[in-house]
Structures are given as structure tokens and as C-alpha cells.
Homo-oligomer: A and B are copies of this chain.
Amino acid sequence: MSQSQPPTKPINLIQKADLIDQLWSPRVVAQINDYQFKVVRIEGEFIWHSHPETDEAFLVLDGTLRIDLPDGPVYVAPGELYVVPRGVAHRTAAEGEAKLMMIEPRGILNTGHEGGERTAVNDQWI
């Protein structure tokens, strides 16, 4: 949804997440200016990475998100928001499935600059 498009329907975030057939595959559900809202289903552990160019926000929709940080883990529950500041190494994880929304500038890869097999295709809408 670019800024030039007309209003559309409200976006049910959990319903959108449930449409994704793969874990760890963020899908864009909305955009404001050059910032995107992405939903993702996760389970298990991701890889450590950072985003030197941007802060990153996580909103938990369902389940519990664990974010491993240099000083230890934080646990984020549904209805809670957490911001990982730019440049801070982090690893997302969930015991059982969790559904999240991430907010960050368009163009940010899920693996930061680490690359590798867990890098998801970017800018995929659902």
C-alpha cells in the first residue's frame, strides 16, 4: 500500500500471519511512507545478527517471543512492543510458535548483513 493508493480494508494481523506457509518468512502487510509492517511466524531460534542502519520494532501478536541480547534474553508477550536499537546484536526465538509484527524501513533483510540460508526473500506482500 503506497501513499498514493486509496484506503482499503483493515488488516487483521493474526489472520495475515496464518496465511504464511513457512516459518521465519516475513511478509509485508502494510506500508507508511518508506516503513513497512511485516508479520511473521516463528518457532525455534533464528541466527544472531544486527542492523547497523536501523532500529527495529517487534510487536507480539500470539505466543511468546524471546529476544536474545548481549546482556541476556527478554521475553515479549502478546500486546507488548520491544525495540532493538540499531547495531545491537540480537537473536529472536520462540518455544512453540509465536506470531509477530515487525516495523522497520523497507529494504531491511531479516538476517541483517549476515546473509546465509536463513535470509528470507524481502519485500514480499501477503
List A residues at the B interface (Cβ < 8 Å): 1, 3-14, 29-33, 35, 37, 54-57, 59, 61, 67, 69, 71, 74-77, 79-88, 101, 103-105
Contact = CB atoms under 8 A, between A and B. Distances in A.
Nearest to A29: B81
A18 B103 CA distance: 23
Contacts of A3: 54-55, 85-87
A85 B7 contact: yes
Quickly give the copy total for this chain. 2
Main secondary structure of the interface of A (DSSP, over half): strand
B83 A30 contact: yes
With most chain B CB atoms within 10 A of its CB, the pick from A67, A87, A103 is A103
A54 B56 CA distance: 20
A80 B31 CA distance: 14
B81 A7 contact: no
